[in-house]
């Protein structure tokens, strides 16, 4: 049975992962902008696809967070919010 | 009061949420918020890619610049192309070749000048240098080459026919 204490620790780890991926996405965005200004169109599509992959990983992690939360609520038999 | 803790229920009413529950909720919400930010970043990067894919239309208007005889070797003259807001510079190299570039420095947009004895462009703002032969940066802060103006010589006249960025 999952508890909120476990969840808080687990979510911290997941947040570090998501945060790291978001920072990489920010870097990709600035690299894409730089490439656009340099008229270097070859970099733009790979940057977008990489960013999309990182978003999908983030969405997967969030899906895990949400399903964990559902299990906690179900086990407690009530919602906190 | 026992164990240093006030057991009257007043403080519980003021602070009804336990620390662990509070951490749990804030981290869950932050995960949602960051994932939303992640989606927005994909959208922004995609928008930049779309601009890069569809926004660069090569400019191909034909415009008279000068008569070819007006420029002596190592001489230069200024013109505007493709619009009156785009300063450009036409140069005849020491070898007699005609070259034209945007006059806007690719560092911070100061106007570059021709250095006749070296066949270079010089940007006085931060001492940037560009090669007249191909517009590439030689020294100083600029990292991108100057956009080249495509030229056409016909019947003794020089025309600008496009911009190669
Ligand atoms: S603006 Fe030309 S070197 Fe900085």
* Average model confidence (pLDDT) across chain B: 88
Q: Per the structure block, which two tokens stand in for B67?
A: 């008569």
> If residue B113 lies in a helix (H) or strand (E), which one and from where to where?
strand B113-115
Residue A81 lies in a domain: no
Mark which residues 48-67 of B lie under 8 Å from A by CB. Answer: 48-49, 51-53, 56
Q: Name the strands in the sheet holding B120-123, side by side, starting at the edge strand that comes first in the sequence.
A: B113-115, B120-123, B128-131, B137-139
Given a contact cutoff of 8 angstroms between Cβ atoms, the answer to whether B164 and B150 are in contact is yes
Q: Which CATH architecture has domain B63-164?
A: 3-layer Sandwich (2.102)
**Do residue B24 and residue A11 have CB atoms under 8 angstroms apart?**
yes
Determine the structural domain holding residue A7 and report its residue range: 3-73
User: How many domains does chain A divide into?
Assistant: 1
| B66: number of Cβ within 10 Å | 14
**Pocket residues: Cβ below 6 A from ligand 1:** B 105, 107-108, 110, 123, 125-126, 128, 140-142
pLDDT at B104: 95
Question: B112-129, pLDDT tens digit by residue?
Answer: 999 988 889 999 999 999
Which residues lie across from B101 on neighbouring strands? B89, B148
**Do residue B31 and residue A59 have CB atoms under 8 angstroms apart?**
no
Q: Give me the phi and psi of B125, to 5 degrees please.
A: -65, -50
Please choose, from the candidates B121, B37, B100, the residue with its C-alpha nearest in 3D space to the C-alpha of residue A62: B37
Q: Give chain B's length.
A: 165
Question: A16-54, pLDDT tens digit by residue?
Answer: 999 999 999 999 999 999 888 777 778 999 999 999 999
Higher-pLDDT residue of B136 and A2 is: B136
B25 min Cα distance to partner chain A (Å):
8
Question: B30-43, pLDDT tens digit by residue?
Answer: 999 999 999 999 99
ipTM higher than threshold 0.85: yes
pLDDT at A80: 47
Looking at the predicted structure, is the pLDDT value of residue A79 above 60? no
Single pTM value for the model: 0.63
Higher-pLDDT residue of B13 and B3 is: B13
| B6: number of Cβ within 10 Å | 11
């Amino acid at each position: 049975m999952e508890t909120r204490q476990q969840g808080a620790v687990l979510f911290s780890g997941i947040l570090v992962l998501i945060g790291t991926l978001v920072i990489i996405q920010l870097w990709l965005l600035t690299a894409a902008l730089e490439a656009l200004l340099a008229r270097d169109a070859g970099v733009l599509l790979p940057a977008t696809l990489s960013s999309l992959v990182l978003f999908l990983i983030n969405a997967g992690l969030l899906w895990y967070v949400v399903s964990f939360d559902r299990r906690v609520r179900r086990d407690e038999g009530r919602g906190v919010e | 009061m026992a164990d240093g803790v006030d057991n009257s229920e007043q403080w519980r009413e003021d602070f009804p949420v336990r620390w662990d529950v509070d951490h749990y909720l804030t981290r869950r919400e932050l995960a949602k918020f960051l994932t939303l930010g992640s989606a927005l970043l994909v959208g922004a990067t995609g928008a930049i890619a779309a601009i890069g894919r569809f926004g660069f239309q090569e400019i191909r208007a034909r415009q008279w610049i000068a008569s070819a005889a007006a420029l002596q070797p190592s001489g230069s003259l200024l013109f505007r192309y493709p619009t009156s807001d785009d300063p450009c510079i036409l140069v005849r190299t020491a070898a007699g070749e005609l070259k034209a570039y945007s006059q806007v420095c690719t560092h911070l947009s100061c106007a570059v000048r021709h250095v006749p004895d070296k066949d270079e462009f010089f940007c006085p703002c931060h001492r940037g240098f560009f090669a007249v032969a191909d517009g590439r940066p030689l020294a100083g802060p600029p990292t991108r080459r100057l956009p080249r103006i495509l030229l056409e010589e016909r019947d003794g006249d020089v025309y600008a026919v496009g911009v190669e960025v």
